[in-house]
Amino acid sequence: MNLPHRDFGWKFDLCGPHKTPDPQLTSGFIDPPPNHIDENHLELPTKLLKTRGVYVVGGSLILVANTLLMINLIFFDLRWSWLSLDPAIVMFFVSLALFFWAPSYIRLDIGHPRDQPIRFNRHRRKAYFYRYKFDSTHPYGTKNWGVQPVAYNWDDLTAEVYRVYAPLGYGGIIEKVMISVRRHGTDEVIDRLFLTDDIERGTRYWALARLFMQKGPEALPNFVYAPVDWNSDDSTNPFDQLAPKVQWPPEMDLESRTAPAQGDQP
């Protein structure tokens, strides 16, 4: 499936994969730091959910409140008419919409893995994405839900910056950095994957990936913060402890961590 050349809220592209990154962008103070670095691959963390459990609690409260509201509207409040614009009928349809919307975010909160790591393999010239897909318009579907790891050629990647001003009452900005995948030799976008929800961190992660792919692990800085073991059960948030652990498919796990055999160099 082909995607729009630019998605909604696009502002600009970061430097291409072959351009040398600015040294100021590759300092060791980034938090969280890379999960793993060795001669073959660099693994960066990505987290779609900042605080796990918010959607489970909030969505459950919405469902309970809407259930009570709809019971009251249907069985007890008989003053409103289906043919009028009475506030009660408006509340009924709003509640119906929330019934459809809330389960998708509860499912996202429960099913999202503890991390969505991205592995950059410098010898194979590929990036491996532990992608979790979700579809808020089909909360009970199966096709567009769940972990679906993918691998793409490094040369076909572009990092895109998005920023949208959201109507949050007090004002607000939603920002993210996405990695788009182009069909080789063209500008046709065939996939778009999440990197971070913070432009500064996304810019630094992309710079680290480029530096690693161009010059290897010895070019990376010494990181101030220790790497995080996302699969550990040390979190104080019980929803983190219950979340699915990262489990790469065995073949992709081996390929993404190793160099190709002699004669198989890309």
pLDDT of residue 57 exceeding 60: yes
Residue 47: band (very low, low, confident or very high) from pLDDT cuts 50, 70, 90: confident
Q: What is the pLDDT of residue 253?
A: 97
Handedness of CA 253, 257, 259, 265 (dihedral sign): positive
The token duo for 29 is 């103070």
pTM of the model: 0.86
Confidence band for 50, pLDDT divided at 50, 70 and 90: confident
- pLDDT per residue over 156-184, tens digit each? 999 999 998 876 544 578 899 999 999 98
| Euclidean distance between CA atoms 30 and 201, whole angstroms | 7
Using 50, 70 and 90 to split pLDDT, how confident is the model at 236? confident
- List phi, psi (to 5°) of 119: -105, 125
Mean of pLDDT values over 98-109? 82
Nearest-angstrom CA–CA distance, 226 and 220: 15
CB 254 within 8 A of CB 124: no
If one counts every other C-beta atom within 10 angstroms of the C-beta of residue 154, the result is 18
For 69-83, what is the mean pLDDT? 61
Count of H helices and E strands in the chain?
5, 11
Calculated CA dihedral for residues 68, 71, 75, 79, nearest 10 degrees:
70
- pLDDT, residue 120, reads 98
Distance of alpha carbon 143 from alpha carbon 175, whole angstroms: 27
**Average model confidence (pLDDT) for the chain?**
87
Q: Report pLDDT for 210.
A: 97
Q: What residues contact 135, with CB distance under 8 A and at least 6 apart?
A: 104, 141, 143, 144, 145
Better-scored residue on pLDDT, 47 or 93 = 47
Report the pLDDT value the prediction gives residue 105, as an integer from 0 to 100: 85
Give the model's confidence band at 81: pLDDT under 50 very low, under 70 low, under 90 confident, else very high: low
On the question of pLDDT at 84 being above 60, the answer is no
pLDDT one-digit tens code per residue, 178-233: 999 999 888 899 999 999 999 999 999 999 999 999 999 999 999 999 999 999 98
Both tokens of 248, joined, read: 């790469």
Give residue 92's pLDDT band: very low, low, confident or very high (50, 70, 90). Answer: low
pLDDT band at residue 76 using 50, 70 and 90 as cut-offs: low
